Amino acid sequence: MDRRNQAFAALFFVNLLYGINYVVAKGLMPAVIGPSGFILLRVVGAGVLFWCVHAFRHRPVAWSDAMRLVLCGLTGVAINQLMFFHGLMRTSAVHASIIMVATPILVLVLSGVLIGERITPAKAAGVALGATGALLLILLGGGHSDGSSILGDLFILVNASSYAVFLVLAKPLMAKYSATTVMAWCFLVGSLLVVPFGWQDLMAVDRAGLTAEQAGGLAFVVVMVTFVAYLLNTWALRLVQPSVAGTFIYLQPVLALLATWLAVEGGVELGWMQGAAAGCIFTGVWLVGRKEQTHRPA
């Protein structure tokens, strides 16, 4: 498997983790831990892991890149996490994933404006087809909107926008530094920003009363959904453009729907129409990715 296909495999796995996370995190909040406390645990826990790895391959960063790293930590960690978890607590899991349809569109536009990525007809068509497939899932009854709210949906939309900015800002950094270096500094910035929001929630957790399933869910979100997912996603940006990485987000409604179907008996119905919508999404991702030229790190 060449490195470009390895990047595609990494992006698929990342979005598989995110799809599962909709169900896992929804089951933990707010009964086990408040959203802000969950964010603090996630960011600090993954940040420690990133710095442990970074310590073995330390490379200083240039002062000229400091502001970009701070902005990446702000948009990709602090705002992204705060808005996602507060939004997820106030809306349904599949409904939240549908709103993420905005992310690839924003990434495509921002990539063209900020870093000069060429927006080809194939990329535009792929993004449009993926958006159509993702929206069809909710219109065809692929997920229930029970428990959703305007405020929760707004938080998820802000989350989607901040993540789009992060993908574009992080791309130039990946030409100079390793994924662990970039993520170590981003999560340090993010940790400092989320402490005031999450400390009280984290201290309120009944640690002695956690069940094995609940502790496993928390560990899964910290290690897999945060540390592994951010690491793989940032590494993939070394090889593909932000628009390609962003388009893989279209897989999240499909994977969230599947995870909900497996986890909640009778929670959703799957049929050929949902399959057709999923086909639109996979075709859209393929259209964006097939025209992408490999950008190998120097």
Show the CA angle centred on residue 240, arms to residues 130 and 191, nearest 5°: 90
CB–CB of 65/127 below 8 Å? no
Q: Which helix (H) or strand (E) holds 295?
A: none
The residues near 128 (Cβ < 8 Å, ≥ 6 apart) are 284
Three-class SS of 122-166: HHHHHHHHHHHHHHHHHHCCCCCCCCCCHHHHHHHHHHHHHHHHH
**Model confidence pTM above 0.75:** yes
- Percentage of residues in the chain with pLDDT exceeding 70? 86
Query: 146: burial class by Cβ within 10 Å (0-12, 13-18, 19+)?
Result: exposed
Residue 214 to residue 210: CA distance in whole angstroms = 6
**Model pLDDT for residues 153-184, shown as the tens digit of each residue:** 789 889 988 999 999 999 999 989 999 999 99
Band the pLDDT of 96: cuts 50, 70, 90.
confident
Residue 27 to residue 24: CA distance in whole angstroms = 5
Q: Which helix (H) or strand (E) holds 177?
A: none
**Model pLDDT for residues 221-236, shown as the tens digit of each residue:** 999 999 999 999 999 9
Q: Give the pair of three-digit tokens for residue 183.
A: 């993520």
Q: What is the rounded average pLDDT of the residues 257-271?
A: 62
- The amino acid sitting at 63 is W
Domain boundaries, the chain: 3-290
Residue 229 to residue 50: CA distance in whole angstroms = 12
Q: What is the rounded average pLDDT of the residues 211-229?
A: 95
Q: Which of 232, 209, 199 is nearest to 43 (CA)?
A: 199
The position carrying tokens 């310590």 is: 55
